[in-house]
Structures are given as C-alpha cells and as structure tokens.
Structure 1
C-alpha cells in the first residue's frame, strides 16, 4: 500500500528533522511492505534537508503539489502562466504585501517561472484573498502562521496523486492543505487536532508517547477490514 506523509507537524516537529518516532514509523511501514511517499507545502529543496539522503530517491510532492521529484530528479513543475502571474502580482503590489515567489529551485521571480507565491504579511489578509478569488488560482490559508499560499488552479497534493495514478493510499497530515489528500485516503490519519481538517480524517492521533504504536495499530486494523 502507498503511504503518503505530510512532513511538518506530521513526522517533523522542529522544522529541521524527522522525529525519532517518525523515523521508526517510516522504517516499520517499509518493513511491512508499504511504499512510502512524501507530500509537503515545502518546495523540494527544503524537503531534502529534513528527509536526509535515504529518502531522496522517493516520490516527493512539494509546494502543495506544484513540483514533483522522483529518483532525485524533478519530473514535473506547475508554473503560473505569465499573464496570470502578472494579474496576481498587480494585486499583491497594490496591497503592499510581504511575499515570497517560489521558483523551481530557488526563491525567485525570474525567467525560470514561479510555481508558488506565499503571502507572509498583509494589512488585510482576507481582502487579499477576496481580490484574488476571481482568478484561476488555488489557496491555502495557514491559520497558525496567518500566511497564504497561492498556486495555479487545481494544484494540490491530491491532484498530483491522481496524476500519478495513485487511487488507493494511506495518508497522514495535520493542516488544511491536507484536506483533499486525507478525504480520499484509505484511511486518512490526522496528526494532533485541526478543526478544519477533522471532518475529512478517519482517525486522529496525538503526537505523544503513543504516536508510533497508535498509527501502526490503525493501519494494521484497517487492513483487516478492507
């Protein structure tokens, strides 16, 4: 079975390393014959230092679905069309927001194109969202940091899984950008509690001393029912 993991808040809790329990979880699932994949809001370049050398050849879905790496090679990037990017930038500049433009490998706004824009600060984040809503883009509002991710329309972790032909999978995540992925998973496991994500998860697991065994038990018991 394919096991798709979000990273931050799911197996990494310090923004730098996969936790000891997360590492054990990945190892035990692979020992049981599962195929591990990763899907994160991070671009690929920021996933690699966390995942270390061992997982570089795995399927990595970065930028909430805007970039895919397999066998340590970028195989697909979903960039904004130039005219759409121009329209977005006009709104951002008019609102005088603080933002990052994420390119294929670097933070950039150059000839390589832009795959994701991250609004870090705005006088009125709701107004920015509303002004961009008429454009063909996808949004992810991170309430914990009050930031806004802007991607090309119909770009998500789940959309990438569909494009890769992965219909049957187990997924673990913790934030609103995991909603679609967990909603279509079998099962979808929410790590800690997120009010907006909860309706789409089959199970909820706290990151505590029971984290590892609870997840393994859920997967084992769920396997017996399908």
Structure 2
C-alpha cells in the first residue's frame, strides 16, 4: 500500500510551546480598561487639587469700600430743619439745628455761600430797654460733642450780608459751615416766608459788619429781615 504524506504535518513540541515574550490573552484584554479608568480619573483629580478662592477676614471682599471713613466723617455733623428767610435785597438770615455727633468739641467760626457777599455769625441779647438787639458773635459758636446748636429767629443765627439776588420762597441756598479745626460741612436750606422776631441790629456791638449805608438804615434792614 503506498505511503501518503499528510497535508498538514503535526507541529513539533517546540512549535507548540508559547513564546516567553507573548502576553497572555487575558492580560492584554485588561490593559485598555485600566487605561480608560486612569484617563477618566485624571481630570477629577486635577479639579480636586485646584485651590478655592479665599473668603477669610483678610480677603479683598471684606475690605472696606474706598471713602467709607470720609463718608462717616461727613455724617458726624448734621444740620436739620435748615431754612432761610425770604428777602429781595440787602440781607437775610439762615436757621437750623446743628448737631455734633463726633467725640470732639467743635467751634463754628464762620460760613459762606454764593447767595451773599459774606456770612456773619450773629447772637441776640437784651438791648437794656426791654428789647433785643443782635450783634456779631465774637469767637464763634461752641458746639460740644454730642450736643446741638440751635439757630433760630430771635436767637443765634447766620446772617447773609449783601445777598446776590432775591431769595424767594421755594428757592434753595447752598451754605458751607466753617469750623475752628479747619473742617467744613455743606448743607442746603430752603427759602421760606417769615415775618416774626422783630429785633433790631446794633452796629456799635458788632465787629466788621461792613455796612455801606448808615447805621439807622442798616438797623431797619435787619429788623425787616428778622
């Protein structure tokens, strides 16, 4: 019987032996899953490591707003119920309630406004004959810490000398108070009609009134304004 040669010769044991460098099939299948997991965890780790913005006491959000101190100082002196007596010429008076909410005693030494050539501080005193007369207050008005200074008809007041234009009811006048320590305080006063407190002005008791007319006429003007 003739010999037949097998079409596919059986492999030798050396050929069947797996190569030492070949990776097991299961190990090769696990590597892609681990690599994918590592790629997924990497951005999460980076996010967790990112520092959060500071919110402590020293952060910029807690810092006081610029100008807060100056705003508080401006509110330390207040003027309430401010008004000016209506007048068409010459002079008139300004009134109100000044309050010192600082912890320092102040002295009001003057005031100014564009509505008049100058402003004088006037006080009212007895004229010795049963009436009242007004004169410029020497040394200014003291305004102790935590107290009030009342400017009113028949009492202490601001005298607007030589007004620049008629001041009619409803007008508003901008004034600035000047204190002895160099500080200033602006305020607005409303012009009102008023016909009370008929005191007269005493030129002899005043310092630097600057009246251009005679004493009698000046006195009559002040009487009309007050």
Same topology, TM > 0.5: no
Q: TM-score, normalised by structure 1?
A: 0.20
Question: Which protein is richer in strand relative to its size?
Answer: 2
Question: Which protein is richer in helix relative to its size?
Answer: 1
Q: Which has the higher contact order (CA 8 A, sep 6+)?
A: 2
Larger Rg: 2
